[in-house]
Structure 1
Amino acid sequence: MSSTTRPAPAAPRSRRRLLLGLLTVFLLLLAAGVAGLYWVDYDLRHPKADSGRPGAWMTVDRDEVSGFAHVTVPVSAEDVRWGYQNGFQDDFAVLAFRIPQGELEEYKGSLAASGWADTKYVPQIDLDGFQHIGVPAPSTTSPLTCGDFYTLGKAKNIGTRVCVASRSDGTSQVWVSAVHTP
C-alpha cells in the first residue's frame, strides 16, 4: 500500500485573504465616509457671509453696530470700520475708528465704561473680529488702555469693551467689541 500525502486544503488561506480584503475595503469606505463628512461639515463651520447662520458675518450699517455696542462714533472719527457676526446664541460686534488725540479724554468720559486700565491682553475673539474688519490688532499697540461696561437689555445684556491707544500721527485708535452676555 502506498500512501500519498495530500496537501492541506486551501480553504483556510482563501478565507483569510477574503476576510483581509473585506476588512481593507471596510476601512477604506470608513475613511472615505469620515473625510466626506468633514468636507460637508465645512459649510457648517464656515458659513457664507449674510447667510444668517451662526458664525456668519452680516452686512449691517455702522449705526446698527454702534447701537448694539451702545457706543457713539464721534463726528470727527476717521477710518471707521465695523462688523457684526451672527452667533448661535450670542451676537458679536466690532467697531474701530481714529479720533484726534485731543478728543480722547472727553470721548472716554462720555462712555459708561469703568475700570480703565492699561493692559496687554485682548481676548482672541476680539482679535479675530478686528482682523476681519481689517484694522491693526489692539494687542500690538502699547500702551493700551481698556474699559468695560454692561448695558441691560430686555432678553440679554450687552457686554462692551473699549480699548484706546495713542498713535504717532496725532490720532488715537479706538477699538470697540460688544457681545450678548447672560
Structure 2
Amino acid sequence: MSSTRRLAPAAPRSRRRLLLGLLAVFLLLLAAGVAGLYWVDYDLRHPKADSGRPGAWMTVDRDEVSGFAHVTVPVSAEDVRWGYQNGFQDDFAVLAFRIPQGELEQYKSSLPASEWTDRQYVQQVDLDGFQHIGAPSPSAASPLTCGGFYTPGKAKNIGTRICLTSRSDGTSQVWVSAFHTP
C-alpha cells in the first residue's frame, strides 16, 4: 500500500498573511495621516511670531502700538509692555504700564473715553493678550475703573478699552487693548 499524503494548500495561509500585512500597513499609514493633519492644524492655530499670518504676534515697537490704540504712554510710565497681533480680519494690540498715583486723574482726563465705570472683570480676549506680553493680570485687580472710545480709521474704526487700578506701591496700573471694529 502506498501512502499518499495530502498536503494542505498553502495559498489560504499566505493570503491570510498578506492580508494581515496589508492591514497593518494601512493602519500605520492612517495613523501617520492623522498625526500629519494634527500637526498641520496645530501650525495653523499657532502661527510663528512675525510670520504675518492671522493670529501671529508681530514685533512692533511701543510707539506703533500706542498709535494704533490712540493712547499716549506718559514719560513717567514704568514697566511698559506691549504686543500686536495680526488678525485674519481685525488686528489687536495690548499695552500695559504703571504710572505714579498722583498722575492718574490727569492721565484719565487726557483720554477721550466718554464714560468710566467700575467693574470686576476684563474680557477673555484682553486677558490672553496681557498674558502674552507678561503684564500683570487685570483679573487679579479689584476694583477696576474702565472706559473706552472709538477712533475713526481709514477702512475700519479702532475700539480702545482702558482699565486702571491703584496699587499698594503708590502707582496705578494701566491696561489698554485696541482692536479693529466694523
Shorter-chain TM-score: which interval? Answer: 0.7 to 0.9
SS at match of 1:114: coil
Task: Report the equivalent of 2:164.
Answer: 164
Task: Report the equivalent of 1:112.
Answer: 112
- Between 156-165 and 36-45, the greater mean CA deviation after superposition: 36-45
Runs of 4+ in 1 over 6 A off after TM superposition: 8-17
SS at match of 2:104: helix
Deviation of the 1:128 alpha carbon:
1.3
In structure 1, runs of 5+ residues without a counterpart are 1-5
Q: Partner letter of residue 52 of structure 2?
A: G
Deviation of the 1:16 alpha carbon:
6.7
Q: Partner letter of residue 181 of structure 1?
A: T
Q: Aligned residues: percent identity?
A: 89
- Between 111-120 and 136-145, the greater mean CA deviation after superposition: 111-120
Task: Report the equivalent of 2:140.
Answer: 140
Task: Report the equivalent of 1:102.
Answer: 102
Q: Partner letter of residue 53 of structure 2?
A: R
Deviation of the 1:43 alpha carbon:
2.8
Query: For residues 16 and 107 of structure 1, do their structure 2 counterparts lie closer, same or farther at Cα, with a shift above 3 Å needed?
Result: same
Matches of 1:11 and 1:124, distance apart in 2: 65
Matches of 1:176 and 1:123, distance apart in 2: 12
Matches of 1:150 and 1:9, distance apart in 2: 83
Deviation of the 1:174 alpha carbon:
0.2
Say whether 1:177 aligns with 2:169. no
- Between 146-155 and 115-124, the greater mean CA deviation after superposition: 115-124
Matches of 1:37 and 1:112, distance apart in 2: 47
Task: Kindly provide the CA deviation profile for residues 39-73 of structure 1, in whole angstroms up to 9, marking residues without a partner as x.
Answer: 23333222222221211111111111011001111
Query: For residues 175 and 18 of structure 1, do their structure 2 counterparts lie closer, same or farther at Cα, with a shift above 3 Å needed?
Result: same
So what's the TM-score if we normalise by structure 1? 0.86
RMSD over aligned CA atoms reads 2.3
Matches of 2:18 and 2:126, distance apart in 1: 56
SS at match of 2:180: strand
Task: Report the equivalent of 1:33.
Answer: 33
In structure 2, runs of 5+ residues without a counterpart are 1-5
* TM alignment of 1:35-74, pairs within 5 A: 35-74=35-74
Matches of 2:9 and 2:163, distance apart in 1: 81
Matches of 2:92 and 2:152, distance apart in 1: 16
Across the two proteins, how many residue pairs are aligned to each other? 179
* TM alignment of 1:17-32, pairs within 5 A: 22-32=22-32
